[in-house]
Structure formats: structure tokens, C-alpha cells
A and B are shown apart, each in its own frame.
Chain A
């Protein structure tokens, strides 16, 4: 009997031996983040769902190539994101996904902290408008790094670029956002 949750490395080792229950635990642990990432990249909920399903099937089959001891999350995100980008490409979808604030904020925001309150209403709409106005590659880099809170390595995996590219895109995107917000304030 196992009376503590297994960590990723143990689950991966079990899955490599054909234990589908171990893989199910991994799927359930990561499918939420994988779906949000695939949704941002593909621009469609249906494509994102198929990308996540295919991604977890392909990842299981590729477990033999997964290096023991390396982090699982960026590896999974790379596979799922690749599926999501391919779907977007084959659908010929070019229009950017416009991000929106949820109609009802999450329960945790019911009593906003002073900081969160600073970013409510108008200022939030302005910031989101500025992000939506960025170029596709800058917008997605900002979305992965700050909205999904991926690390730089994970952002690079999700976007299929090198980490150095993520750093430079982030720097340029943040500069662009500052310019945009300053301009608006000055008006």
C-alpha cells in the first residue's frame, strides 16, 4: 500500500512500465494547465481539448525518450503546445485570441487585497487592452509567462523557441506595454 502521493518521477517510472493508472494521475495533475496553454496557443476550446488529448497520448508513447530526473512539466507543455500550434496552423486561424476578464472574478478575489484593488476596473481593462494590442508573439510570451505563470524554460517549451528568445521578447513586450500605458496616461 502507498500512503503518500507519488511524485512525478515515481509516476513516470511506473508509467514507463505500462502502468496506466500512474499516467492517469499525471494527466489529471497537468491537464488544467495544459488546456489553458493550448487554448491560448490555438485560439479554440475544441482544438485545445484535442491537442491536450493527443499530447498526453503522444507523451506516454514518448516516455522512453524522457530523461530520468528532468522536469516533467516543460516536457509535457512542449508536446501539448506543439499539437496546439499545429492545429491552429492547419485551421488557418490568423486572428488573435482576444483575452477577456471573467464575468465574475474568482472566489478568492471576493475580498480584494489593497494591491488587487489597485488593479480593478478601469486599470485592468486598460492593461488587458494593451496586451491584446501587442503583436502575436509578444502577446503569447506575456500570456505564458505572467498569465499562466510559466517559468522562462516552460514558456520557451510552450512557444517552441529558445530561452534567449523568450527573454528578449519579454523585454521588448514589457517596454511596449509601458510605452502604451504611459501614452494613455499622458493623454
Chain B
């Protein structure tokens, strides 16, 4: 190696780089949300079977909404077929906790002892943190509930939807088949995005916030975690 090449290497050792972020929690949550292709195929076939069944049994009413569940800032609707949805991608813009709290305008509620390296923010309204629990990666999302529904979930009969209480406040537990999550932006403009969710989900309110916990959890495990989130 020439002297110039050696000098370049030495220069490389003192160059300034931004602090290196830890992307592992977000990578794990995203991978856990979207299983291997063979499972996607299996789920797609199951969804197709339900859709085909619906077409043959109630052709006029295959998008009929069968029942609504409301929680502040969220609507959950029971439908016969899921709306078209894409696989979830990025969790949001990666920010430090301070930056994220400034962007969304509230302090994050977190399990005790959690120090998130990164908080993912969508549209200055919805903040998500990738958590690591014994069972695997979890995604905790929260936002300040507003007058209109910011999130809408659609679920077929394959998904159990059950009202629950978390620290005395109302919540909903969704378990079983895949369901979709539609996000509307803060100004209520028609800029929605519908993603397919396969994990179980607990939704609940805590003071001014509406929270959402997603992952491979049983109802009891989700409730245990939710109760200590402050």
C-alpha cells in the first residue's frame, strides 16, 4: 500500500459521522409483522377462500359492515371481506424520543424502564416504539385522540373482537385472523393507507392518549403489559 493510501486510511479513522442508530428493534418488529412468503400465501388463500365464499353466499352484501366498535379515535368494523391492503412498510420517521415528543406534542407512555433509542413518527401525530418482550418483538403505537377516527380497523369473522378494561378505561382486544388498519392523517384529509395486520392487537385509552399494542401475545400477556404502561 502506498503512502498516500495509508494516509487516506488514517484520515478515515478521524472522520465525523452522525451517531449510529440502533435499527434492530424496528427491523425485528417489521419482520415479525410480515411472515415468510409461504405463510403469506397461506393467509392469502384463506382470505381468498373467505372472499369467494362471501361472493357465492351474499353477493350483494360482501362489503356490508356488520357491526361497529368505537373507542376514542378508533373505529373497528366487522366486515365480510377485508378491504384491499398493502403489507406494512416503514414504521414512520425515525426520531429520538425528545424529537418525537416535540413532533407529536405529548409525552410518550411506556412500560417502566423502557428507554427507546428511536421513536417512529407518522405525520406528526402517531408515534410508535419497537419493544422487546420475552415473547418477541412488539409494536406500541400511541396518539392523542381527536374528534374523528384517526384509525379504522376492519376485521372479518375470523377475528375475535372483545371489549376489555385497562386500568378502568375502555379497550378492545382483537385476536385471530388478519385484519386491516387504515390510517387517516391528522387533518382528516382523504390520505389513507390500509395495511394488513396479522398479530393480535390491544387498543385502549389512557387519559388523553389512545394506545395500540401489536404482537404475538395472548390477551392476558397484552393486558399485563398495558396495565404498567404509563
Contact = CB atoms under 8 A, between A and B. Distances in A.
Nearest to B30: A57
A124 B9 CA distance: 11
Interface stretch (B10-18, B48-56, B106-114): B10-18
Contact of B23 (A49, A115, A128, A177): A49
Interface string A105-137: 110110000011001000110011001000000
Nearest to A128: B11
A57 B16 contact: no
A147 B12 contact: yes
A74 to B, nearest CB: 19
Contacts of B32: 20
Contact of A39 (B6, B18, B23, B94): B18
Given A142-B8, A146-B8, A149-B12, A35 B21 contact: yes
Contacts of A103: 16
Interface stretch (A5-13, A21-29, A88-96, A155-163): A21-29
B7 A27 contact: no
A46 B11 contact: no
B8 A31 contact: no
Given A46-B94, A50-B94, A105 B24 contact: no
Contact of B24 (A28, A39, A48): A28
Contact of A99 (B7, B15, B90): B15
Contact of A36 (B8, B17, B30): B17
A57 B9 contact: no
A178 interface: yes
B23 A119 contact: no
A22 to B, nearest CB: 11
A101 interface: yes
B225 interface: no
Interface residues of B, number: 35
B69 to A, nearest CB: 32
A60 interface: yes
A128 B7 CA distance: 10
Secondary structure call for the A interface: helix
B22 to A, nearest CB: 7
Given A24-B28, A31-B24, A57-B31, A49 B94 contact: yes
Contacts of A178: 4
A61 B87 CA distance: 13
B5 interface: yes
B93 A100 contact: no
A2 interface: no
Nearest to A17: B36
A53 to B, nearest CB: 4
Contacts of B10: 115-116, 119
A18 interface: yes
Given A24-B28, A108-B13, 4 more contacts: A20-B136, A35-B23, A60-B31, A149-B12
Interface of B: 2, 4-18, 20-24, 26-28, 30-32, 36-37, 89-90, 93-94, 136-137
30 contacts: A20-B31, A27-B23, A27-B27, A31-B20, A31-B23, A31-B24, A35-B21, A39-B18, A46-B93, A50-B90, A50-B94, A52-B21, A53-B23, A61-B36, A99-B16, A101-B11, A106-B13, A106-B14, A108-B13, A119-B10, A124-B11, A127-B7, A131-B11, A143-B12, A146-B5, A146-B11, A149-B9, A174-B5, A178-B4, A181-B4
